[in-house]
Structures are given as C-alpha cells and as structure tokens.
Chains A and B, each alone.
Chain A
Amino acid sequence: MTTIQATGLHKSYGSSVALNSIDLNVGEGRILGLIGPNGAGKTTLLNAILGLTAYQGELSVLGRNPWTQRDQLMNDVAFVADVAVLPRWMRVSDAIDFVAGIHPRFDRTKAETFLARTTIKRTSKVRELSKGMVAQLHLALVMSIDARLLVLDEPTLGLDILFRKQFYDSLLNDYFDHHLTIVITTHQIDEVQYILTDLLFIDRGNLVFGCSMEDFDTRYLELIVNPGQLPAARALKPIQERQTFGRSILLYDRVPREQLAPLGDIRTPTIADVFVAFVGQPNQPAPYSPPPVPTPSSYTGAAQ
C-alpha cells in the first residue's frame, strides 16, 4: 500500500519555483527523513501533502486528494508543525475535550496516560506552559490519534537535547507500528538518523537524493587519506573532497572497503556528510562535481 504518491508535483510562488515537478512514492510503514536547507521546498512539500496548499500535478495521500479532501484525510493523518501552533488561550482539559469531541480516532485514555507522565496540569492554559511542555502536550494529543500517516515538520525546534531524545524514543516505542508512515523534516539530521528507514534530500525544489537507510549504510564510506596517497584516492572517483586539519577527506559511493583501506582511515559518514556532498555549499564549489544523480527529481525507493 502506498501512503504518498506524487507525480509531477509542482508549486511555484510567482516566478520562484518551490517544488519542481517532483515524483515521490512512500510506502506504508516507512519512516522518511526529508532533509534540505532552508527554503528548499520541504515545508511546501509537506503543506501539499497535508492539504494546506494548492499545487499542480498529481498527489494522492492514503488514496485521497489532500487539497479537495483535507477534512476527510485528517481522520487518518496526524501533524505536528512546530511547538508554537497550539492555541495559547486553550486549557489543557479543553484541548483534550475538543479533540475527543471531533476526532473519530482519538483515544482519550491514551492522552491521559501520556499526560500523567508529565508535570502538565489539566487546568493550565497553553500560554502558561513552558515550550517543552507545550510540545509534550501536542505530542500527547497527536500520539493518541490512531493515524496512518504522521507528519512532523521540525517537531523539536527550540527544545533541549534531553527532550529531543525523549521525543524520538517515545515516537518509536509508544507510537510506531507497521501501519503507520512517518515523514520528518529536521535540521538536526544526526538525531533522526537512527530512526529513519528512508532518506530524501531536497534542494531548490528538486529531490536531489533518495535512498533507504540499509542502502545508505552500505553504500557510503569516507576516507581520511594518508598524505601522499591522494592521487590514488582521487582515482577511485570520490563524490566529494574536503579538507579538515590539513588532511583530505574523500567521500565514496559504492567503492569497496578493501580498495579504500590501504589509502587511509575509513569511517562511516553521517547523513550530514553525504548531505553536504549532494547539496553542497553554493559559495564554495566542490572540487569534484557530483556524478549525475541516478533518478533526478524522482524517488521511489521507499515504496515497498
């Protein structure tokens, strides 16, 4: 079952293109990390998926058109934008009553159980809660909805490291099951690395890279080149080269570990390392231009 299916999904604001005819396929039970610099089109893509913005092209989420059927779609989709969207005037008890009143898949007992683990008082108003408590409340509401798609747009922005860790642990342990698909955008890439099943890079409205995490872990290696062996290392066609503390670090895609081992120290790159290689810094052109991406603007790897 495909949760999200997009064909030629396009969105422009005036002359600037936010999404450039994207093809995307996300299957049930996947946890997709959507990574990109500011203004890359992440939020536009999520807004299209959530029925918050009109678009051109084909888009189907859980078999529905999000733009024309947003209210029905939201029976099965839960969404955390960022911590600031809970209405500040609302009481905690009112928030639970309201969602319980209108949401067919909301489990009040679950929400009460989640809240019981926090120090949030039922009689407090949202404006009286700390930033972390508001996030906990929002999460308690969202996690008590038996959704089939959960969309998290910078869910831990501005929260401390303890809370962020707890957030993702809780997400996996208390909430995730095989029926659920999760889409996460975040700048704290390294924190989500261990929970993702799929990875997607977006830059200037294009999907520039996509792979499953199994692939990612086997495909990419970083080599800290021994001085003097740089020409040999370069001959193996790294996809990126950079300098740290006077040593060259080269990133390889699908080059066997045995070939690299004699040339220096090998380490597994983080998502951030590969991200920089693909998205790059516009001010500093990389010494090696990246090879053509196998399927530009298209990613179907997560459909399984």
Chain B
Amino acid sequence: MTPQTDALPTSFTDTAHATPAARISEARRLFWSIRRELWENRAIYIAPLAVAAFILLGFFYSTVRMPAVMLITDTVNGVVTHTSHGIDPILPYTIAAGLLMATTFLVAIFYSLDALYGERRDRSILFWKSLPISDLTVVLSKAAIPLVILPLLTWAVTVATQSIMLLINVTVFHARGIDTGPLHSGLPLTQNSMMLLYHLVAVHALWYAPIWCWFLLVSAWARRTPLLWATLPPIVLGVLEMITLHSGHVFEFLKYRIHGPGDIDFTASHAGATMPMGATMSISPTQFLTTPGLWAGLALAAVFLAAAIQLRRYRNPL
C-alpha cells in the first residue's frame, strides 16, 4: 500500500525533518527527572510539612496554656539556663528538629526501597524507557532524593518551623507579660541551624550514603518485598556468623554504619542542652572527613549505584 501523504492535514506538515532536533543537556534531563520524582512521591515534602504544622499547633497551644511560672527563664552570660520552675526554652526547638529529621529519615527509607521497584510493579518502566533518558540519569535522579533533596529540605523546613516557633514564643510572651529578653539573647538558633545543616550533610547524606544506595540496589533487583530483601539478609548473615563462628563482625559492621564511629556518635549525649546530634557537632569537619569509614562507605555506595544502573537496564516489568 502506498502511504497517502496527500491525506496529511496541513496543520501537521512535515517541517521537523528540515530542522535538526534541539539538543537537550543531561543536566536538564536530570532536573526533569528529579522533578518527576517529586510529582510521584509527594510524601517527600508533604510529610515534613504536615509534621511541621502539627509541631507549630502543639507549640502554640502549650505556649498559650502553660503556667507563666514554668516559662520564665534566666540567662547567665547570655546563655539560657534552667530555672527552678522553668523548662529550658530551647527544648521545644530541639524536639521539633528531631521530629522533622525522624520524619524525613523514614520517608527516605520508604522512598529508596520503592524507587526502582514501583516502576516495574506498575509497568510504567516501559513508558520511562521509551523516552530518551539513560538509566544513569534515572538512577542518579532517584539517588538524589535521599542524598541531596531530603537533607536540604529537612534543613529548610526545620529552620522555617523554628523561626515561626520563635515568632509565636515572642508574641505570646509579650502578650502574657513574660520577659522576652532571654529569647532574643539566649537561644542559639542560628548556631544550631548551621550545626543541623552540618549534621544532615555529614551523617544523613554522606555517612548513610551506602545505606540509601543499598536500598536503591535492592529496589532495582527484588521481585517482591524489597523491604525484607534489604533488611533480612544482613540480619540472617549476622545470626549465622554468631552461630557458626561465635563472632559478631557483621553486627559490628552494621552498628558502626548505623550508629557512626565512636567519636562521631551523633546520638543525644546530653539531651535538652543541645540538638540531639550534639556530639557530632563537637567533632570538626576535618576529623569527619579523615575518617576512613566515610570514604569506604562512599566507595561502597558508588558500587551499589553502578549495580543498580546495570540492573535497571536488564529489568523488565514484574
């Protein structure tokens, strides 16, 4: 059969063949791919925003209703101290930061485990693969969510939440006739926000990078239940080691990765006085950057990512 070119409507005349197609840079494809991830996984920003709204509501209520005597604080040399009746006014701010961090941490876990699994489960991988985007770009855009987007988003939402809390604090204190002096001079919010940023980048992005990339690898590989495949094998391996070799190297390794090396212990050592990850802040970036475990972890993360990219080439819908 001869194709009927005369049947083509005039509005769709063949002009594109004459003009070479516009070039689209890899950076632009990466940008659109990350945007696409945010469209698909709206929990990435809705979850922290919802928690922030909940925190602000609770904070407002408690600031308005709490007996004035419990809110009065003193400053010594410009630093807020406990009074006999008062609660350290920084504590709600610290709790807010901790809650937001925990929220985005959970979001990162579930996101990473579903990122390369969901597209195979719902067959949409066939649509994505029909478009001129390389597997490298797709996997990098998915890795960018836990490694870049979520830490920065956590920081931004936390800073915004704490700023609004401070505003509520000052306004309510003013209305109730409580001295707002200690709030202005004594709350180390700016300092804390810089420490929070450092913690998020150092621990959540860099130190945990191999965990996120492992989750992505499992989500590219697993035929079902990526959560179990990501968590059970290491645990089973650890138990087997304990039974057969009576040693605990696997669990030591896992603990080191999750908990951090001894001197980068970011769990609350003196909760309330500083941010929950206070101890991390006490170590210098130089000390952190010279920890071999950091670089070993990043190398492992790169291997996991490369494997995930290769797997996505071979994987078809489930």
Q: Does B7 contact A (CB under 8 A)?
A: yes
Give the CA-CA distance A101 to B12 in the complex, in Å.
21
Give the CA-CA distance A85 to B316 in the complex, in Å.
12
Out of B7, B36, B133, name the residue touching A173 (CB < 8 Å).
Answer: B7
Q: How many residues of B contact A (CB 8 A)?
A: 43
Q: How far is the CB of A96 from chain B (nearest CB, A)?
A: 12
| CB < 8 Å A-B pair total | 121
Give the CA-CA distance A86 to B129 in the complex, in Å.
11
Q: Does B245 contact A (CB under 8 A)?
A: no
Mask, A88-117, CB within 8 Å of B = 1, is 111100100011011111010010010000
B9 touches A173 (CB 8 A): yes
Q: Does A195 contact B (CB under 8 A)?
A: yes
List residues of A (167-183) whose CB comes within 8 Å of B's CBs: 172-179
Give the CA-CA distance A194 to B3 in the complex, in Å.
11
Q: Which residues of B contact A94 (CB under 8 A)?
A: 36, 39
Out of B31, B126, B132, B313, name the residue touching A81 (CB < 8 Å).
Answer: B126
Closest residue of B by beta carbon distance from A142: B130
Q: Does B75 contact A (CB under 8 A)?
A: no
Q: Which residues of B contact A178 (CB under 8 A)?
A: 3, 5
B133 touches A90 (CB 8 A): no
**Given known contacts A52-B129, A177-B3, is B29 in contact with A102 (CB within 8 Å)?**
yes
Enumerate chain B interface residues (CB-CB to A < 8 A). Answer: 1, 3-5, 7-9, 11-12, 14, 16-17, 21-24, 28-29, 31-33, 35-36, 39-40, 119, 122-127, 129-135, 137, 313-314, 316
Q: Could you name 22 residue pairs across A and B whose Cβ atoms are closer than 8 Å?
A: A47-B316, A50-B130, A52-B126, A71-B137, A73-B132, A74-B133, A79-B130, A81-B126, A86-B127, A88-B124, A89-B39, A94-B39, A99-B131, A101-B29, A101-B31, A107-B16, A138-B127, A172-B3, A174-B12, A177-B5, A194-B1, A195-B1
Enumerate chain A interface residues (CB-CB to B < 8 A). Answer: 29, 31, 47, 50-54, 70-75, 77-81, 84-91, 94, 98-99, 101-105, 107, 110, 113, 138, 146, 172-179, 194-197, 213
